[in-house]
Amino acid sequence: MRELEREKDLTDPTRIRCAIVGAGRLGRALVPALRAAGVTVAGPFGRGWSAADEPDLDVVLLCVPDAEIAAAAATIAPRRGLLVGHCSGATTLAPLVPHERLSLHPLMTVPADGAAGFAGATAAVAGSTPDALAVATALANSLRMTAVEVADRDRAAYHAAASVASNFLVTLEAAAERIAETAGIDRSALVPLVKASFENWAALGPERALTGPLVRGDEATVARQRDAIEERTPELLDLFDALADATRSLAREAVAT
C-alpha cells in the first residue's frame, strides 16, 4: 500500500479539482486552458485566499513570483491527499515542504493579455512522490503539452536555456530594430528575415542555419558594421562584439563538422 493512497485516480484530468493561486499572466492563461481540458478549476485567486474555502481540492497550483512561493505554500494547511505545486521553471520543490508537491512549468511565453497557446509546447514537470509526478504529467498532457521531468539539480540550467531562447531573443531583435531605425528601416522589414532564420535553425540546427559575413570570413564587412554601430548606437557596441565573437566560434564549429 502506498504511503499516500488516494480515493480517486488523479491521472484522469477530468477527475481533478484544482485551484490556481496567482492572477498574473500565467494564472489567467491556465484557468481557461485547464477548464477546456476538462479539469475543474477555481480561481485565479489573489492574496488572502484560503484553501480552507475549497475543502474538496486535489491540487493547488501556485502561479506566483518565485520569491513568493514559500510564503504562499505556508498559508495552505497540509492535509492528506492534497497536492501543492508551483509553475516556476527555475525553482526546486523545496519551498513547498511539507506538502506532497509537484511543479508544472510550461516552456512557453505568455503575453500580457494572457492568451497563451500551450498545445505543442514542452512542460517541465517534477514531483516529490510518484503520484505527484503522475498528476503533474497528466495536467501537462491535458493541455496537449509534452511533459519532461526536470530534476531539481537541473532547474537553473533548464530555465537559463529558456531565458536565452525567449527573453534574450527579444532583446536581440530590439537591438537590431534600433540599428535599422538609423538607416530608415522599419522593424517590419526585419520580420521575414527573423522568421526564416528561426525556421532554418529549428530544421537544420545552428551550424547549417548560420549565414552572413562572419561565416564567409569577410572581416572587412564586419569591421564596417562595427564602425557604423560605434557611430550610431554606441551603447550596443559591447553586445555586437560579444555576439560577433560567439558567431565566429559557431562558424568555426560548422567548418570543423
pLDDT in the model for residue 3: 42
> Residue 87 is inside which H or E element, if any?
none
Cell for 231? Answer: 557611430
pLDDT in the model for residue 6: 55
pLDDT in the model for residue 169: 95
pLDDT in the model for residue 112: 73
Segment-wise mean pLDDT, segments of 10 residues, the chain, 257 residues: 55 92 93 95 88 86 96 92 96 97 95 76 97 96 97 96 95 98 97 96 93 93 97 98 95 76
Q: What is the pLDDT of residues 48-68, one digit of tens each?
A: 788 877 788 999 999 999 999
Q: Taking the model in full, what pTM does it have? A: 0.87
Q: Which amino acid is at 28?
A: R
Sheet with 59-62, edge to edge strand ranges:
40-45, 17-21, 59-62, 83-86, 100-106, 122-127, 146-149
**What is 157-256's CATH topology?**
N-(1-d-carboxylethyl)-l-norvaline Dehydrogenase; domain 2 (1.10.1040)
Nearest Cα residue to 86 out of 105, 108, 58, 107: 105
The CA distance from 127 to 150, in Å, is: 10
pLDDT in the model for residue 8: 67
Domain ranges of the chain: 13-150, 157-256
Size of the chain, expressed as the number of residues it contains: 257
> Residue 243 is inside which H or E element, if any?
helix 237-256
Class of domain 13-150: alpha beta
Q: Which amino acid is at 36?
A: A
pLDDT in the model for residue 4: 47
Q: CA distances (Å), 77 to each of 23, 84, 105, in order?
A: 21, 10, 24
Cβ(15)–Cβ(96) below 8 Å:
no
pLDDT in the model for residue 42: 94
The CA distance from 117 to 97, in Å, is: 31
Cell for 56? Answer: 474538496
